[in-house]
Chains A and B, each alone.
Chain A
Amino acid sequence: MIEHKPLYQAMINAVSQTLENMAFMEVMEHFDRSYKIPAEDLIWNSLLINDPVQGEIRLAMSKNLLKKLAGNIFAIADDEITQPQMDDILNELLNTIVGLFLTNLLLDDQEYKMGLPELNEEALPEVDENTIVWKLMTDEEDALQIFAIGASLVILQEK
């Protein structure tokens, strides 16, 4: 098994740092662990981690939160934001979050390789035993969720 730091906190810190720096939003754990973002309001993307562990990270949030993030990042009104800008923001957020997550997780001398983010149109897959879920929300109580999928990632929880 690879040498690493605590996995759950590594992701919380990555998401917090990304949203605070890029969109001036605070992130905390969701008060309702059973909360699910309604399917009709949900948008999500995914990115593969190739090395030193293999797995997939998914970022899911409400379309409303993505609009707020876009407004903060581009400093323009919600109704001026285009769909390509929204898609690009979601991908850049995931790209940044996963990079920070791996930096936070792995010890200093370990290299990592990650793929490129991809938007997904289909329904978010059900969570199984090979999935870790982070249920988070912003200071305005907009929900976002992160999923880490893959046995080699899940096993890192045990340390």
Chain B
Amino acid sequence: MKRIIIADDSTTARMFIKRCLQIIGLGDAEIIEAEHGKEALAAAKAQKVDLLLTDLNMPVMDGETLVKWVKANPKFSDLTVIVITSAGNPAKEAQLLALGAHRVLNKPVSPPVMMEALADFLDE
């Protein structure tokens, strides 16, 4: 069973992303919800995680810092990181990809977009 962290300070956003995951066939994955980057990082360190879906604008620790921390740690070299944000633009996207994020998606994400972004992950 795959283990997925959804980091977003909005309950609505987390719920919406969970529904997208269910629709694209990840309904049986274990979902860990985090309200900010620090909580997500702690969850990732506590157990093996396969996928991290994170927002950018969050209190305590934002998504960009979370990506930096995760990608700086060799323990998470296999972790797929997708950023889902309403504050995305090409410059920010390039910056996040350079940090090691696999994809940057704009809110509101839809199941087809999520499926396309996670195609490799779903094939594993």
Residues of A within 8 A of B (CB): 17-18, 21-22, 73-75, 84-85, 88-89, 91-93, 95-96, 98-100, 102-103, 106, 108-114, 116
Q: In the complex, how many residues of chain B place their beta carbon closer than 8 angstroms to a beta carbon of chain A?
A: 21
Tell me whether B15 and A73 are in contact (CB under 8 A): yes
Residues of chain B lying within 8 A (CB to CB) of residue A93: 12
Closest to B95 in A: A111
Tell me whether B12 and A88 are in contact (CB under 8 A): yes
Closest to A89 in B: B12
Residues of B within 8 A of A (CB): 10-13, 15-16, 19, 57, 85-92, 106-110
Tell me whether A73 and B12 are in contact (CB under 8 A): yes
Residues of chain A lying within 8 A (CB to CB) of residue B89: 102-103, 106, 108, 110-112
- In the assembled complex, 17 residue pairs joining A and B whose CB atoms fall closer than 8 Å, in A order, are A21-B108, A73-B15, A88-B10, A91-B10, A92-B12, A95-B10, A96-B86, A96-B107, A96-B108, A98-B86, A99-B87, A99-B107, A100-B106, A102-B89, A108-B89, A112-B89, A114-B86
